[in-house]
A and B are shown apart, each in its own frame.
Chain A
């Protein structure tokens, strides 16, 4: 079909019937589809949850099914930071720096009781940050001490769903409200 002949919705149906390679979508959908299916986590593990994160990447649970198998050691190449383990006062500036070094779009998953609220170290401990949201904005919380690899997988799928519903506008808004600099 020539460009001049394309008039209204009927010509669209004509296009459909003749099985032309036309795909109509919004930019948001395309971007979100791309983002959500290649979430690369940062290899950032402080304690026990890190082992369960490794187990999630291992044969039985296999992160790779959902496009997350590429663990990146550098924050500049990572899309999502899974805070796996306790964050203590000495580590908090380092975590903040790691988060700042990640390039947009970036997401945070707080894995385990320690990252959510301090967990078993909530009471009586003088050095533990009581929840990682005091340092960086969190998108998904995965409870457990440590959470099973299935729980982490579920959390990551929830993150994918969250990404799916985002638009460029809402993303901007969110970034502005989370601007911690």
Chain B
């Protein structure tokens, strides 16, 4: 008996391993984190993925190009429209199709609306992660207004499937411009309320400032893109560096910070919402007339070769890499998804902080799990 007691080490060096997920409300899905702790301090975070691996990349090899769009919706469902756009742009690039101006402008407006609604939902759930339940109600209340606009034009609330190779599925609803303008007017008034509720909150500052610092060097070497990367000073906005659709004709600034902590990842997203509204305002009055789609062949076959297109989703850079062997199905499709890459840095930035901060850091990276596993 005594020997047994002796064998139990009360050594402080011993690590305590706990399992977080796959069913855990603050991992935003079915991410599993195996966390090694020393006391309350996180020593090591090991993400286990694959709990929602649906084999989308492999499925793409057996379906046609227009069908791929409906699968990309379900990868990063919060930036569904932008994912669609990435596939469409790469198919159009391969076929060298000239896209009408009207399509480009509408796509850009829809992308920015998608970005705003994604950030709203992120804001809602991030507030909830840190214990502010009111954020959830505010964020989702305003998000419904954008979903109404989507529903009117696309017929669906969040999985829109509005793009197709060569343009759009159908023209915008006659109310579209008015609705969007109303929303911008409304949201410009509401967004400062978000700041009052959370950004200026002392408890929130305590929990986010200086927590989970990501240096510029790490951001670049890990390839952290999107608002998370830009909060560390990594200028990685694809809209700026490699403009697609109508981003080359508008003036907007890339949100850059140098601190790279949880607080600045938060502020970067709030600022992005302001910037997105600026972009929409520049375009909404000048939607050019013209056809809403180019007539494509009923069966789209890409010429043999490799095609890559990157776009800026709400979470970072999404790359679509298609290898075609000349058939109606792609030979191989690879998605460079922003969440998978952003997750990889979690161990680096969460080590050394408390376990409660792990939730805050994970929330500030804004992970969407089906996009990680695909």
* Residues 95-136 (chain A) with a chain B CB within 8 angstroms: 98, 120-121, 123-128
Q: How far is the CB of A26 from chain B (nearest CB, A)?
A: 37
* B205 proximal to A (CB < 8 A): no
* A59 proximal to B (CB < 8 A): yes
**Which residue numbers of A lie inside 8 Å of B, CB to CB?**
42-48, 50-52, 54-55, 58-60, 71, 73, 75, 85-86, 88, 90-91, 94, 98, 120-121, 123-128, 145-146, 148
Contact in complex: A127, B22 (CB < 8 Å): no
Q: How far is the CB of B306 from chain A (nearest CB, A)?
A: 23
A89 (CB) vs chain B CBs: closest residue: B53
| B141: chain A residues within 8 A (beta carbon) | 58-60
* B70 proximal to A (CB < 8 A): yes
Contact in complex: A91, B52 (CB < 8 Å): yes
| A55: chain B residues within 8 A (beta carbon) | 140, 143-144, 147
**B55, B71, B121 pick with most chain A CB within 10 angstroms:** B55
* Residues 136-194 (chain B) with a chain A CB within 8 angstroms: 136-137, 140-141, 143-144, 147, 157-159
Contact of B51 among A45, A48, A51, A88 (CB under 8 A): A88
* Residues 24-69 (chain B) with a chain A CB within 8 angstroms: 24-25, 29-30, 50-55, 58-59, 62-63
| B159: chain A residues within 8 A (beta carbon) | 48, 145-146
14 A-B contact pairs sorted by A residue (CB < 8 Å): A43-B23, A43-B25, A46-B52, A46-B370, A48-B158, A55-B144, A58-B140, A59-B141, A121-B54, A125-B54, A127-B54, A128-B55, A146-B157, A146-B159
For the A-B complex, the count of residue pairs with Cβ-Cβ distances under 8 Å equals 104
Contact of A47 among B25, B29, B70 (CB under 8 A): B29
Contact in complex: A91, B51 (CB < 8 Å): yes
Contact of B137 among A59, A98, A148 (CB under 8 A): A59
Contact of A98 among B23, B62, B121 (CB under 8 A): B23
* B263 proximal to A (CB < 8 A): no
| B52: chain A residues within 8 A (beta carbon) | 46-47, 85-86, 88, 91
Contact of B157 among A43, A52, A59, A127 (CB under 8 A): A52
Q: How far is the CB of A48 from chain B (nearest CB, A)?
A: 4
Contact in complex: B59, A125 (CB < 8 Å): yes
* B292 proximal to A (CB < 8 A): no
Given contacts A46-B29, A47-B29, A55-B144, could you give 12 more A-B pairs where the C-beta distance is less than 8 Å? A46-B51, A48-B370, A51-B77, A54-B136, A54-B140, A58-B141, A58-B143, A73-B25, A88-B51, A125-B59, A126-B55, A128-B54
| A91: chain B residues within 8 A (beta carbon) | 22, 30, 51-52
| A59: chain B residues within 8 A (beta carbon) | 137, 140-141, 144
Contact in complex: B370, A120 (CB < 8 Å): no
B52 (CB) vs chain A CBs: closest residue: A46
B22 (CB) vs chain A CBs: closest residue: A94
Where chain A touches its partner, the secondary structure class is loop
Contact in complex: A46, B77 (CB < 8 Å): no
Bound CA span A130–B58, Å:
17
Bound CA span A51–B52, Å:
15
Q: How far is the CB of A85 from chain B (nearest CB, A)?
A: 7
Contact in complex: B51, A90 (CB < 8 Å): yes
Bound CA span A124–B63, Å:
9
Contact in complex: B71, A90 (CB < 8 Å): no
Q: How far is the CB of B151 from chain A (nearest CB, A)?
A: 9
Q: How far is the CB of A20 from chain B (nearest CB, A)?
A: 44
Bound CA span A85–B137, Å:
23
* B78 proximal to A (CB < 8 A): yes
Contact in complex: B29, A88 (CB < 8 Å): no
**A42, A45, A51 pick with most chain B CB within 10 angstroms:** A51
Contact in complex: A45, B157 (CB < 8 Å): no
Contact in complex: B58, A124 (CB < 8 Å): yes
B121 (CB) vs chain A CBs: closest residue: A51
Proximity string of chain B (229-241) to chain A, C-beta cutoff 8 Å, 1 when within and 0 when not: 0000000000000
